[in-house]
Structure 1
Amino acid sequence: MVLSPGMNPLTDVRAKWGWFVGLGVVLLVFGGIAAANLFWATVATVYYVGMLMIVGGAVHLAHAFQVKAWRETIAWALSALLYLAAGVLAFVNPVLTSAVLTLLMAAALLVAGIFRIFAAWRTRPEKGWGWLMAGGIVTTLAGLVFLLGWPVNSLWLLGLFLAFDLAMQGWALIAFGLALRK
């Protein structure tokens, strides 16, 4: 689609303001649930990732034996075993896994925050863009806090991140959706 001068690319988005508000409310509720017990939010996150890695590793291993060449089968099987080992490690040693996940989440937060800031900057003419910008800045700052406290605070901090990020993005989307409605 080619925009002619004076066309607002957010006209279609404005009509969907209720979706922004609805998603914001859902994220805010989930953030409250996670904040109620940071330790269990961290453990749930570690176990969830571990289960996904075990399932992914098992599927990967099944795929390895579908490959016809012996060399490729070995490479795929070794890759699958690494996935399986990482998934099992999440259940055997959730403290170590939470430290590794915390480090990875710090990197992901930094990247996500920068992208959210960029997205907010692109919606600048619209009311409420500042809320999106604030959400991006907070996400970026959360990534920096993760890096500074790592690994000492990784067990409870992963749960705190989950709760805080869900709540902040919930509020940002609610505010942006309500601003679009006006």
Structure 2
Amino acid sequence: METRHYEVKIESNLIDDIRDHTRWFMGLGIVFLILGIAAIAFPWVATLSLEIFIGVLFVIAGVAQAVQSFSIPRWGGFFLNVGLAVLALIIGLLMLFYPLAGVITLTSLVAAFLLIAGILKTVFAFQVKPAIGWGWTLAGGLLSLALGLLILFQLTEAYPWVLGLLLGVDFVFTGVWMLILASKARQTL
């Protein structure tokens, strides 16, 4: 009984917080919705932007790790840390100077992730087959597997747009979710 009271209190606090910041949730939801629609409409631009952003993150991480390596005197992990910093810098700079290769690499990684996730989900679904919802797990696994194979077999045609499209779909769903959440919180006044 105590657990249910705790859950109700958390839900009530969450609704109160959302209601107090409804404008932020609505505004952020609209921003995500617009960015998602733009990414779906222009997936190549979104894909390239994502690749450049990841390249910049690698460069920043490499510089930060190099600074950290030299800031700790007589540290046993100095050479490993410097090596990782150099690796991050090289990857980041390669992604920035050769964005097309970076897009192909990222798309290949997404395809590999979807294939592996699809296989694992499918196997898991058959392991828990009598359980409630095993069919949804199987459907999700087969969908991930199909998307991974689609990207893999269509890589030369898919790489310019697939990441941007996936990012756009995620942003649209995030935007819709935030708008619905803010709307529901307002209705509980």
Q: TM-score, normalised by structure 2?
A: 0.65
1:101 and 1:83 map into 2 onto residues whose CA distance is 15
1:94 and 1:140 map into 2 onto residues whose CA distance is 31
2:143 and 2:33 map into 1 onto residues whose CA distance is 17
1:4 aligns to 2:5 (yes or no): yes
2:70 to 58, 65, 89: 65
The runs of 5 or more residues in structure 2 that have no matched partner are 118-139
2:110 and 2:175 map into 1 onto residues whose CA distance is 19
More helix by share: 2
Structure 1 pair 30–145 and aligned structure 2 pair: CA distance change class (3 A):
farther
1:43 aligns to 2:36 (yes or no): no
1:173 aligns to 2:173 (yes or no): no
Structure 1 pair 101–61 and aligned structure 2 pair: CA distance change class (3 A):
same
Q: 1:104: how far off?
A: 5.0
1:27 aligns to 2:27 (yes or no): no
- Look up the equivalent residue of 1:154 and give its one-letter code: Y
Whether the 8 Å contact between 2:110 and 2:148 is mirrored in structure 1 is no
Instruction: Give the alignment's Cα RMSD to 1 decimal.
Output: 3.3
2:143 and 2:170 map into 1 onto residues whose CA distance is 8
Whether the 8 Å contact between 1:105 and 1:143 is mirrored in structure 2 is no
The percent identity for this pair of structures is 25
Whether the 8 Å contact between 1:38 and 1:157 is mirrored in structure 2 is yes
The runs of 5 or more residues in structure 1 that have no matched partner are 111-138
Whether the 8 Å contact between 1:54 and 1:84 is mirrored in structure 2 is yes
2:89 and 2:185 map into 1 onto residues whose CA distance is 46
- Look up the equivalent residue of 2:70 and give its one-letter code: F
Q: TM-score, normalised by structure 1?
A: 0.68
Q: Which has the larger radius of gyration?
A: 2
1:86 to 86, 91, 94: 91
Q: 1:8: how far off?
A: 4.8
- Look up the equivalent residue of 1:168 and give its one-letter code: F
Partner of 1:95: 100
Query: SS of the residue aligned with 2:161?
Result: helix
2:59 to 37, 49, 54: 54
1:165 and 1:141 map into 2 onto residues whose CA distance is 20
Deviations 1:117-146, CA, capped at 9 Å, x for gaps: xxxxxxxxxxxxxxxxxxxxxx99986665
Q: 1:42: how far off?
A: 0.9
- Look up the equivalent residue of 1:4 and give its one-letter code: H
